[in-house]
Amino acid sequence: MIRRFIMACGLVLGGTLAAHAEIEIQQVQSPGGFDAWLVEDHQIPFVALELRFKGGGSLDLDGKRGATNLMTGLLEEGAGELDAQGFAAAKEAIAADIGYRLTDDTLGISARFLTETQEEAVALIRASIVEPSFDEESVERVRQQVLSGLRSDATDPDEIVSRAFDKAVYGDHPYGSSYQGTIESVGALSRDDVVQAWKNAIAQDRVVVSAAGDITADELGKVMDRLLSDLPETGAPQPDRVEVQTTAGVTVVPFATPQSVAIFGHHGMKRNDPDFFAAYVLNTIFGEGGFESRLMNEVREKRGLTYGVYSALVPKDHAELVIGRVASANDRIAEAISVIREEWAKVASEGVTQEELDQAKTYLTGAYPLRFDGNAPIAKILAGMQMDDLDPDYIKTRNTNIEAVTLEDIRRVAAELMKPDELVFVVVGQPEGLDAATMGQ
Amino acid sequence: MRHLPLSLATMGLALALTPAMAVTARAEAPVTTFTLDNGMQVLVIEDHRAPVVEHMVWYKAGSADETPGVSGVAHFLEHLLFKGTKTLEPGEFSKVVAQNGGTDNAFTSLDQTVYHQRVAADRLELMMKMESDRMVNLQLDEADILTERDVIIEERNMRTENDPGALFREQAMAAQYLNHPYGTPVIGWRHEMEQLDLDAALSYYQQFYAPNDAVLIVAGDVEPDRVLALAKDYYEPLPANPELEVRDRPAEPRQTAERRLTFRDARVSTPYVMRTYLAPERDPGAQEKAAALTILAEVLGGGQTSVLNQKLQFGLKKAVYASAFYNGTSLDDTTFGLVVVPAPGVSLDEAEREMDAAIAQFITDGVDAAQLERIKFQVKASQIYAQDDVSQLARRYGDALTSGLTVEDVKAWPDVLQAVTGEDVIAAAKEVLDRNQAVTGYLMPAEEVTQ
In this structure, the answer to whether residues A362 and A395 fall within a common structural domain is yes
Residue A2's pLDDT is 52
- Judged by CB atoms closer than 8 Å, whether chains meet at B377 and A93 is answered as yes
In this structure, the answer to whether residues A46 and A118 fall within a common structural domain is yes
Hey, how many other C-beta atoms are within 10 angstroms of the C-beta on A422? Answer: 18
Q: Which chain B residues are within 8 Å of A94, Cβ to Cβ?
A: 377
Q: Which chain B residues are within 8 Å of A370, Cβ to Cβ?
A: 50, 52, 101-103, 118-120
- Through-space distance between the first and last CA atoms of chain A, rounded to whole angstroms: 31
Q: What superfamily in CATH does domain B257-444 come from?
A: Metalloenzyme, LuxS/M16 peptidase-like (3.30.830.10)
Q: Are B134 and B88 in contact (CB under 8 A)?
A: yes
Query: Which stretch of DSSP H or E encloses residue B220?
Result: strand B214-220
Domain boundary among A228, A259, A288: A228
In this structure, the answer to whether residues A224 and A256 fall within a common structural domain is no
- Judged by CB atoms closer than 8 Å, whether chains meet at B103 and A366 is answered as no
Length of chain B: 451
In this structure, the answer to whether residues A200 and A285 fall within a common structural domain is no
Looking at the complex, does the CB of residue A80 fall below 8 Å from at least one CB of chain B? no
Q: How many CA atoms lie within 13 A of A328 on its CB side?
A: 26
pLDDT above 90 as % of chain A:
89
- Judged by CB atoms closer than 8 Å, whether chains meet at B267 and A84 is answered as no
Which of A141, A292, A366 faces B95 most closely, judged by CB atoms? A292
Q: Are B120 and B71 in contact (CB under 8 A)?
A: no
- Judged by CB atoms closer than 8 Å, whether chains meet at B162 and A257 is answered as yes
Q: Is A244 a domain residue?
A: no
- Judged by CB atoms closer than 8 Å, whether chains meet at B267 and A257 is answered as yes
Residue A289's pLDDT is 65
Domain boundary among A195, A228, A261: A228
- Judged by CB atoms closer than 8 Å, whether chains meet at A302 and B154 is answered as no
What is the CATH classification number for the domain harbouring A339? Answer: 3.30.830.10
Range A383-396 average pLDDT: 93
Range B271-287 average pLDDT: 97
User: Tens digits of per-residue pLDDT, B166-178?
Assistant: 999 999 999 999 9
> What does the mean pLDDT of chain A come to?
93
- Judged by CB atoms closer than 8 Å, whether chains meet at A88 and B303 is answered as yes
- Starting at the earlier edge strand, list the strands of the sheet with A320-329: A309-315, A320-329, A259-267, A424-429, A249-254, A437-438
- Tell me how far apart the alpha carbons of residues B185 and B12 are, in angstroms, rounded to a whole number: 15
Nearest Cα to A72, choosing from A43, A52, A47, A46?
A52
User: Tens digits of per-residue pLDDT, A401-412?
Assistant: 999 999 999 999
User: Tens digits of per-residue pLDDT, B100-116?
Assistant: 999 999 999 999 999 99
Q: Which residue of B has its CA nearest to A92?
A: B374
Nearest Cα to A133, choosing from A66, A101, A188, A85?
A85
Confidence of residue A174 (pLDDT cuts 50, 70, 90): very high
User: Tens digits of per-residue pLDDT, B13-68?
Assistant: 333 333 333 333 344 578 999 999 999 999 999 999 889 999 999 999 999 999 99
- Tell me how far apart the alpha carbons of residues A70 and A360 are, in angstroms, rounded to a whole number: 42
Interface test with A, best of B63, B154, B320 (most A CBs within 10 A): B154
User: Tens digits of per-residue pLDDT, B310-320?
Assistant: 999 999 999 99
Which residues of B are known catalytic residues? Answer: 78
In the predicted structure, residue A282 carries a pLDDT above the cut 90: yes
Which of A43, A93, A308 faces B49 most closely, judged by CB atoms? A43
Q: Which chain B residues are within 8 Å of A373, Cβ to Cβ?
A: 47, 49-50, 52, 220, 390
Q: Is A16 a domain residue?
A: no
A303 Cβ partners below 8 Å, 6+ apart?
A335, A336, A339, B147, B150
Q: Which chain B residues are within 8 Å of A156, Cβ to Cβ?
A: 7, 163, 267
User: Tens digits of per-residue pLDDT, A294-321?
Assistant: 999 999 999 999 999 999 999 999 999 9
User: Tens digits of per-residue pLDDT, A94-120?
Assistant: 999 999 999 999 999 999 999 999 999
B61 Cβ partners below 8 Å, 6+ apart?
B74, B112, B113, B204, B207, B208, B209, B213
Domain that holds residue A392: 249-438
User: Tens digits of per-residue pLDDT, B370-389?
Assistant: 999 999 999 999 999 999 99
Burial A153-178 (b: 16+ CB within 10 A, else e): bbbbbbbbbbbbbbbbbbeebbbbbb
- Tell me how far apart the alpha carbons of residues B89 and A409 are, in angstroms, rounded to a whole number: 31
Q: Name the pTM for this structure.
A: 0.92
In the predicted structure, residue B433 carries a pLDDT above the cut 50: yes
In this structure, the answer to whether residues A222 and A271 fall within a common structural domain is no
Residue B142's pLDDT is 85
Q: Is A257 a domain residue?
A: yes
Q: How far off is chain B from A157, nearest CA to CA, in Å?
A: 8
Residue A17's pLDDT is 32
Residue B186's pLDDT is 97
Domains B39-234 and B257-444 share a fold: yes
Residue B1's pLDDT is 53
- Judged by CB atoms closer than 8 Å, whether chains meet at A141 and B313 is answered as yes
- Tell me how far apart the alpha carbons of residues A30 and B116 are, in angstroms, rounded to a whole number: 43
Q: Which residue of B has its CA nearest to A357?
A: B99
- Judged by CB atoms closer than 8 Å, whether chains meet at A304 and B304 is answered as no
In this structure, the answer to whether residues A186 and A275 fall within a common structural domain is no
Q: Are A209 and A53 in contact (CB under 8 A)?
A: no
User: Tens digits of per-residue pLDDT, A14-56?
Assistant: 333 333 456 799 999 999 999 999 999 999 999 999 999 999 9
Residue A16's pLDDT is 34
Domain boundary among A197, A228, A259: A228
Interface test with A, best of B1, B126, B372 (most A CBs within 10 A): B1
What is the three-state SS of chain A?
CECCCCCCCCCCCCCCCCCCCCCCCEEEECCCCCEEEEEECCCCCEEEEEEEEECHHHHCCCCCCCHHHHHHHHCCCEECCEEHHHHHHHHHHCCCEEEEEECCCEEEEEEEEEHHHHHHHHHHHHHHHHCECCCHHHHHHHHHHHHHHHHHHCCCHHHHHHHHHHHHHHCCCHHHCCCCCCHHHHHCCCHHHHHHHHHHHCCHHHEEEEEEECCCHHHHHHHHHHHHCCCCCCCCCCCCCCCCCCCCEEEEEECCCCEEEEEEEEECCCCCCCCHHHHHHHHHHHHHCHHHCHHHHHHHHCCCCCCCEEEEEEECCCCEEEEEEEEEECCCHHHHHHHHHHHHHHHHHHCCCHHHHHHHHHHHHHHHHHHCCCHHHHHHHHHHHHHCCCCCCHHHHHHHHHHCCCHHHHHHHHHHHCCHHHCEEEEEECCCCCCCEECCC
Q: Which chain A residues are within 8 Å of B153, Cβ to Cβ?
A: 329
In this structure, the answer to whether residues A281 and A156 fall within a common structural domain is no
Q: How far off is chain B from A240, nearest CA to CA, in Å?
A: 29
In this structure, the answer to whether residues A261 and A152 fall within a common structural domain is no
Residue A351's pLDDT is 96
Residue B157's pLDDT is 97
Looking at the complex, does the CB of residue A149 fall below 8 Å from at least one CB of chain B? yes
Residue B281, phi-psi category: left (phi > 0), alpha (psi -120 to 50), beta (remainder): beta
Query: Which stretch of DSSP H or E encloses residue B58?
Result: strand B52-59
In this structure, the answer to whether residues A200 and A309 fall within a common structural domain is no
Query: Alpha carbon A186 to chain centroid distance?
Result: 23
In this structure, the answer to whether residues A400 and A431 fall within a common structural domain is yes
Q: Is A15 a domain residue?
A: no
- Tell me how far apart the alpha carbons of residues A176 and A318 are, in angstroms, rounded to a whole number: 12
Q: Which residue of A has its CA nearest to B157?
A: A259
In this structure, the answer to whether residues A219 and A344 fall within a common structural domain is no
Range B175-193 average pLDDT: 98
Looking at the complex, does the CB of residue A45 fall below 8 Å from at least one CB of chain B? yes
Nearest Cα to A308, choosing from A332, A289, A283, A328?
A328
Counted across chains A and B, CB pairs separated by less than 8 A come out at 226
ipTM score? 0.90
Domain ranges of chain B: 39-234, 257-444
Range A373-393 average pLDDT: 95
Q: Is A354 a domain residue?
A: yes
- Judged by CB atoms closer than 8 Å, whether chains meet at A258 and B82 is answered as no
Range A245-254 average pLDDT: 96
Q: Are B242 and B62 in contact (CB under 8 A)?
A: no
Q: Taking a contact as any Cβ pair under 8 Å apart, which residues of chain A between 181 and 240 contact chain B?
A: none
Q: Is A119 a domain residue?
A: yes
Q: Which chain A residues are within 8 Å of B148, Cβ to Cβ?
A: 304
Residue B18's pLDDT is 33
Domain total in chain A: 2
State the DSSP code for B312.
I
Which of B154, B314, B320 faces A144 most closely, judged by CB atoms? B320
Q: How far off is chain B from A22, nearest CA to CA, in Å?
A: 8
In this structure, the answer to whether residues A191 and A331 fall within a common structural domain is no
In the predicted structure, residue B9 carries a pLDDT above the cut 60: no
CA dihedral (A316, A322, A328, A331) positive or negative: negative
CATH number of B39-234: 3.30.830.10
Looking at the complex, does the CB of residue A355 fall below 8 Å from at least one CB of chain B? no
User: Tens digits of per-residue pLDDT, B332-372?
Assistant: 999 999 999 999 999 999 999 999 999 999 999 999 999 99
